[in-house]
Amino acid sequence: MPLVVIPDDYQHATKQIQALYQHSDFEIVCLGALDRDPKAEELLSKADALILIRERTLIDEKFLSKAPNLKLISQTGKVAYNIDLELCKQRGIAVVEGSGSPVAAAELTWLLIQSAIRQFVPSVEMMKKGHWQTEFGDTVAGKTLGIVGYGKISQLVAKYAQAFDMKVQVWGSNRAQDHARQEGLIVPGSREAFFQTSDVVTLHQRLVKETTGNITLSDLTKMKPTAVLVNTARSGLIETGALEKALDLGTPGFAALDVFDIEPIWDTNHSLLKRNNVLCSPHIGYVTKSCYDIYFESAFKNIERYFSGDKSHVINACV
């Protein structure tokens, strides 16, 4: 019976996905954070297949040395920078990718935008301390939302913004700009104008070589002192150290982040957590019951296909 391990399931949330545990042909085991779960080493050494929760788990030489029996890696969603595909091919380990939904990430993005503009979380926290009406937030209506990239998630965010009477403008690749124009959205005349005129900038690009460090200190310092930078995509989209420097300079004046350079963050003294002008959430953009159901159903079906002999969906060829 093949052993399928789900590493870095911080909440052991996959135990609640019934579809994973209804197949007698497979043994499914979920692990917490690999650096903290005492069962990790033993189970990885026996694993025939892995289901990865997005890009949480780095698959490199160090990891694969602990999983000598591994035959298959099934990624939830699209494969990204976390998996060394060439190394897996050399080891004879097949890699497959699944499908997901943009809804959960788009909804969290919108939640962070409204929370930041309205200063909702500080108001609630101060109320718990016995204070009343300490923050002076604002409405989103009439403001301009700037979206970097224009894929499935950002298209939903644009619709939410329009429903709340925001102006929406887009910057990114030529393809993203063309798509935005076709849908009647604003595409500014320059990158500089995009950052200067946006009241909120939200990032929605995939992290690839071309987009790594794509958002620079120069971009950020062109933003308004009243503006908000929202990142629910990947921290690597922003030039290393640029956001902290820009926040110190006061442009933008606030940031709302769901992604970080090193995750998970266990240190309560982390510099971003200590900033009054930053709202942090623990990378929960896609961590919802409905989203997990979709991702893991797809990932497990890919495992069934592979072990039944169908290898047509393997993306690292010649395994």
Q: Are strands 27-30 and 3-6 parallel, antiparallel or unpaired?
A: parallel
Token representation of residue 246: 């820009």
DSSP string, 30-48: E-S-TTT-TTHHHHHHH-S
CA atoms within 13 A on the CB side of 234: 19
Among 253, 255, 250, 228, CA closest to 144: 228
Cα(101)–Cα(134) distance, integer angstroms: 38
Long-range contact pairs involving 113-122 (C-beta distance under 8 Å, separation at least 24):
113/140, 113/145, 113/161, 113/200, 113/202, 113/228, 113/230, 113/256, 114/140, 115/256, 115/279, 116/200, 116/228, 116/230, 116/254, 116/255, 116/256, 116/279, 117/143, 117/200, 117/228, 121/279, 122/276
Active site residues: 234, 263, 283
